């Protein structure tokens, strides 16, 4: 990127605007055929002066589908041409500007019932919402509308149905404003204690008794739920603490937890915590580390301690800045076309790194047998160690020593691979 920075003309208002960002995700847009702006007053002034709608793209360095959309959709010549001629495109890093992300995620939920990243928002020059979505391929694909079709539809509405567009913008503005100012669980700036019991009941209604966690799929770790249940359980009895402990152990047994390098991926695409979306975020792991520390203090559960220790080791080995602070995230993959390739293992890769006995133990204990022939495995704890040991005819103590040695070898083998990029931006807030 430094070479690119040295060649840009910062006297150009657009480039001056985007160069104010310190986000690698935003600055990477300098290489795009789309003529991106950063988030600045000047971008909206140009949109107003030229009477063009704004295309707002909110994403992050760790977001797999953000990279896919940048490469496939915004890298498409026809898409870039339509945007450059008819829109003012603005790119925002949700980690750098969580305030902007929060505002438009709320609007997206109101308009389409769906948020997330990448977040694609079409705005009037005054910043009001016209239409929202998430990932769009360049053209219609797998039931998703293509960006070419979406761009042309938004342009048609903006140019030929302005009264309807303005009415939608007013309704969304009123609804978002009401949501920010109101709220049933607040009294002034303080939470209303009478609402907490209802909140806990709602959380427990979502509890997955079979696999732990809350909801079905995709399934996210919920540090705030864990913290609230632990706090209330400390005063009211072990039932709530047991819900959290079961959840923390289940998460740490799944592929959503990196069994070789420690630390949690962003979320699981399945109910069992087995297959993750592979990005790793500082904020997720920092909050989960608090959960694991508090749960261990309450339970002395050895599995909880081991998983929490693994989180700390990951943060200190991969995200810690030697000069102070911690980096913000690590990408899902090295190649957008091979999501999670750094973390997955083929049978041949496992056999070449391990002795036959180590391989057999890993095959059973880490659930390699659950993947189809030719498919790379995501390591997860598929059975108790004593059961895996029984499969290969050794006792549990022998299996523990064998497993420790196998994990060390796999870590060394993985360290020889090209690792996913770390966003070295340090945020405070």
Q: What is the pLDDT of residue 172?
A: 72
**Helix, strand, or coil here: 304?**
helix
CA 194 to chain centre: 33
Strands 88-93 and 54-59: parallel
8 A C-beta contact, residue 388 and residue 365: yes
Quick one: pLDDT at residue 167?
Answer: 77
Length of the chain: 429
**3-class SS of residue 79:** helix
Q: Under 8 Å CB-to-CB from 200, ≥6 apart: which residues?
A: 228, 229, 232, 240
Q: Of the CATH numbers 3.40.640.10, 3.60.15.10, 3.40.30.10, 1.20.120.160, which one belongs to the domain with range 2-181?
A: 3.40.30.10
| Cα torsion 215, 220, 224, 230: sign | positive
Provide the pLDDT for residue 3: 38
What is the number of alpha carbons within 13 Å of residue 360 lying toward its C-beta?
11
- Along the chain (429 residues), what's the average pLDDT of each consecutive run of 10 residues? 45 92 94 97 97 96 91 97 98 95 89 86 92 93 91 92 77 63 50 81 95 93 96 91 98 98 96 95 97 97 98 97 94 81 96 97 97 93 97 96 97 96 87
Contact in structure between 263 and 310 (CB atoms under 8 Å): yes
Burial class (CB in 10 A: 0-12, 13-18, 19+), 201: exposed
Q: How far apart are CA 392 and CA 1, in angstroms?
A: 51
Residues 6+ apart with CB under 8 A from 328: 61, 62, 95, 281, 282, 283, 319, 423, 424, 425, 426, 427
* pTM for this prediction: 0.80
Nearest CA to 151 out of 100, 93, 84 is that of 84
Asked if residue 92 lies in contact with residue 56, where contact means CB atoms within 8 angstroms, the answer is: yes
Torsion of CA 190, 194, 197, 203, to 10 degrees: -50
Cα–Cα distance between 361 and 342 in angstroms, integer? 21
pLDDT on residue 429: 66
- DSSP result, 328-370: -EE-S-SSTTSTTTTT-B-HHHHHHHS-HHHHHHHHHHTTGGG
Q: Where are the domains of the chain?
A: 2-181, 214-324, 331-429
First-residue to last-residue Cα distance in the chain: 26
């Amino acid at each position: 990127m430094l070479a690119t920075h040295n060649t840009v003309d910062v006297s150009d208002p657009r480039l001056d605007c985007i160069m104010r960002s310190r986000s690698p995700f935003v600055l990477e847009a300098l290489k795009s055929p789309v003529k991106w702006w950063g988030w600045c007053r000047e971008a909206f002034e140009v949109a107003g002066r030229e009477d063009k709608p704004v295309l707002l793209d909110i994403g992050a360095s760790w977001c797999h589908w953000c990279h896919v959309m940048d490469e496939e959709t915004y890298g498409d010549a026809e898409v870039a041409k339509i945007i450059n001629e008819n829109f003012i495109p603005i790119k925002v890093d949700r980690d750098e500007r969580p305030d902007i992300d929060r505002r438009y995620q709320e609007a997206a939920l109101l308009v389409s019932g769906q948020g997330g990243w990448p977040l694609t928002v079409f705005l009037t020059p005054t910043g009001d919402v016209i239409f929202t979505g998430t990932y769009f391929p360049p053209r219609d694909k797998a039931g998703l509308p293509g960006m070419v079709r979406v761009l042309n539809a938004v342009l048609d509405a903006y140019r030929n149905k302005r009264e309807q567009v303005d009415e939608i913008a007013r309704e969304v503005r009123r609804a978002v404003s009401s949501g920010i100012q109101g709220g049933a669980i607040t009294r002034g700036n303080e939470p209303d204690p009478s609402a907490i019991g209802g909140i806990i009941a709602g959380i427990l209604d979502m509890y997955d008794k079979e696999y732990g966690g809350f909801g079905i799929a995709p399934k996210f770790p919920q540090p705030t739920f864990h913290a609230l249940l632990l706090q209330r359980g400390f005063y009211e009895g072990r039932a709530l603490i047991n819900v959290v402990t079961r959840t923390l152990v289940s998460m740490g047994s799944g592929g959503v937890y990196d069994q070789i390098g420690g630390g949690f991926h962003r979320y699981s695409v399945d109910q069992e915590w087995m297959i993750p979306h592979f990005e790793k975020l500082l904020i997720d792991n920092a909050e989960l580390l608090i959960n694991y520390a508090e749960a261990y203090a309450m339970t002395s559960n050895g599995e909880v301690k081991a998983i929490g220790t693994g989180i700390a080791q990951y943060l200190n080995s991969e995200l810690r800045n030697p000069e102070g602070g911690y980096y913000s995230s690590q990408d899902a993959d090295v190649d957008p076309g091979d999501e999670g390739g750094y973390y997955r293992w083929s049978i041949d890769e496992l056999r070449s790194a391990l002795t036959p006995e180590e391989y057999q133990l890993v095959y059973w204990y880490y659930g390699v047998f659950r993947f189809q022939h030719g498919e790379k495995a995501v390591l997860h704890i598929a059975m108790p160690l004593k059961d895996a040991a029984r499969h290969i005819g050794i006792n549990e103590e022998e299996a523990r020593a064998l497993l420790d040695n196998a994990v060390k070898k796999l870590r060394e083998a993985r360290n020889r691979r090209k690792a996913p990029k770390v966003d070295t931006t340090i945020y405070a807030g």
